[in-house]
Structure 1
Amino acid sequence: MSGAVDLAQLSILSWVFMSVAALIIGISKTALPGAGSVVVALFAVAIPARESTATLLLLLIVGDLLAIWVYRSNAHWPTLLRLFPAVLVGIVLGVAFLAVADETWVRRVIAIILLLVVATTLWRRWRARGADAPAAAGRVAAGIYGTLGGFATMVANAAGPVMSMYFLAARFPVKQFLGTAAWFFAVVNVAKVPFAAGLGLFSVDGLWIDLILVPGVLLGAIVGRLIAGRMSQRIFERIVIVLTVGGALYLLW
């Protein structure tokens, strides 16, 4: 494994950013999916963008497993099966991009992906107003969202906002949303591990960072479970949208 992460040279501010990110990972997986874009931004600022993708990936898998345990009976499998083929295509495209992209381009694409998510978020919410049927149920929508989500997750671990908008448009109740998202990201993130390893994105120092930050993910998951149990559907949907927009703007800044 190789990488540019160096534990000895990480600043206190970098550790603060990553610790906050670990807490948000736990909360986002069990309560507020849109918060994931903030995590991407914090890690991209704390450590080199290419290495942040792999280091963050393992923490996300920990969060996914916790979310599966919490919402193990709430997944909507027909939706998942419809999405996975397109996601695989997106992952392959992301691998090809990472093989040729330098640090600057990785950062730029992270920002562009999140901007596209913001635009898609607002457009689909406007289009779905007053509709009786789920707006994201079709195969075309699944193909578009799945491919973009697969590319975004491979390049920047930024599929959370993309897929949150898909699940919102499908009008899932809070627990079904979170359960479906938990299984979706667990499968996708585990599938990404060999690709990331093949690209040499993992490093020994990155793995130590993950080990140190795991307790923060656990704490966040506990907090998120408490929040989700007290949140209405309407508030949940609004928070997801606001966090998605906020994460994109933060990264650009």
Structure 2
Amino acid sequence: MLGLDLMELLMLMLAAMLTGFSKTAVSGATLPAVALVAYSFGGKLSAGIMLTMLMVADLFGVYNYGRYGKLKDLLKVLPPAIAGVLLGVAVGSYLNDAQFKFLIGMTVIFCLVLLIYMETIGKNARIPSGVLFHGATGVVNGFASMVGNAASPIFSVYMLSMGFTKNRFIGTAAWFFFVVNIVKFPFHVFVWKTITLETARYTLYMLPFIVGGALLGVFMIKRVSEKTFKYIVIGMTALAALRLML
């Protein structure tokens, strides 16, 4: 089916479920999905296939949690994120798969250490609030999103460090990636040529699994406490970062 053997097909199905799940529950679930798709399709091509699945899943995130996002939060990071996307287009055109996966893995590891530090010192944390902090965060997220659809753990660190509640966390992330993924789409089609009618059919066949993952996320997030939610994000981020580094 779809020119894939049984193992590759099963991994694509699991990736589709994780993609839907990531938009309504744990955002870090995106990275294991990225790794699974990359196994079957390689680095850059898998980025295009993942993007179309993510754009479908974005609709569920925005529909279920978009009302919790705040425009003022988005405006702090969206403009620099778009600049990061443009940087990613340029750099990603020259780096091979191993190089940009390693770069993203290093970035995620750094952010994970930052997140654990923030959780350890708790209320004594001093969070940067200047334009430079938000701008740098936006650029890094846009870059990581473009070259590997790997910005979710970095953005998770940013939102958790800002002290967002669970619903505000998911709502802000839903709108952020909805907009960023739309910006990325024409570059994948016309510059990298990683999205074609041929690759789009993978997303079409995976629609039931994306929907299933999103519904599972809606069910689970209502039954997960704020503290547990943070631990899940940390755990998923750590596993995904290690996978990118290997």
When normalised by structure 2's length, the TM-score is 0.93
1:247 counterpart (234, 240, 243): 240
- Aligned identity (percent) is 32
Mapped pair 1:143 → 2:132: no
2:86 counterpart (71, 92, 110): 92
Task: Show the counterpart of 2:168.
Answer: 176
CA distance in 2, matches of 1:172, 1:159: 18
Task: Show the counterpart of 2:110.
Answer: 119
Q: Deviations over 1:121-157 (max 9, x none)?
A: 2224314623367725432221222111111111101
Unpaired stretches in structure 1, ≥5 consecutive residues: 1-5
Task: Show the counterpart of 2:228.
Answer: 235
Deviation at 1:40, TM superposition (A): 1.2
Conserved 8 A contact 1:134-1:171: no
Q: Deviations over 1:174-221 (max 9, x none)?
A: 111001100000000011111111221113321111100111110001
Q: Deviations over 1:40-63 (max 9, x none)?
A: 111111112111111110110111
Unpaired stretches in structure 2, ≥5 consecutive residues: none
More deviation, 209-218/105-114 = 105-114
More deviation, 112-121/55-64 = 112-121
Letter in 2 for 1:207: A
1:155 counterpart (144, 147, 156): 147
Conserved 8 A contact 2:81-2:139: yes
CA distance in 1, matches of 2:209, 2:114: 34
Letter in 1 for 2:90: A
CA distance in 2, matches of 1:127, 1:229: 25
Conserved 8 A contact 1:136-1:166: no
Aligned pairs for 1:43-122 (under 5 A) are: 43-101=37-95, 105-122=96-113
CA distance in 2, matches of 1:207, 1:130: 44
Aligned Cα root-mean-square deviation (Å): 1.8
Counterparts in 2 of 1:232 and 1:134: CA distance versus 1, 3 Å: farther
Letter in 1 for 2:174: A
Conserved 8 A contact 2:104-2:244: no
Mapped pair 1:206 → 2:199: yes
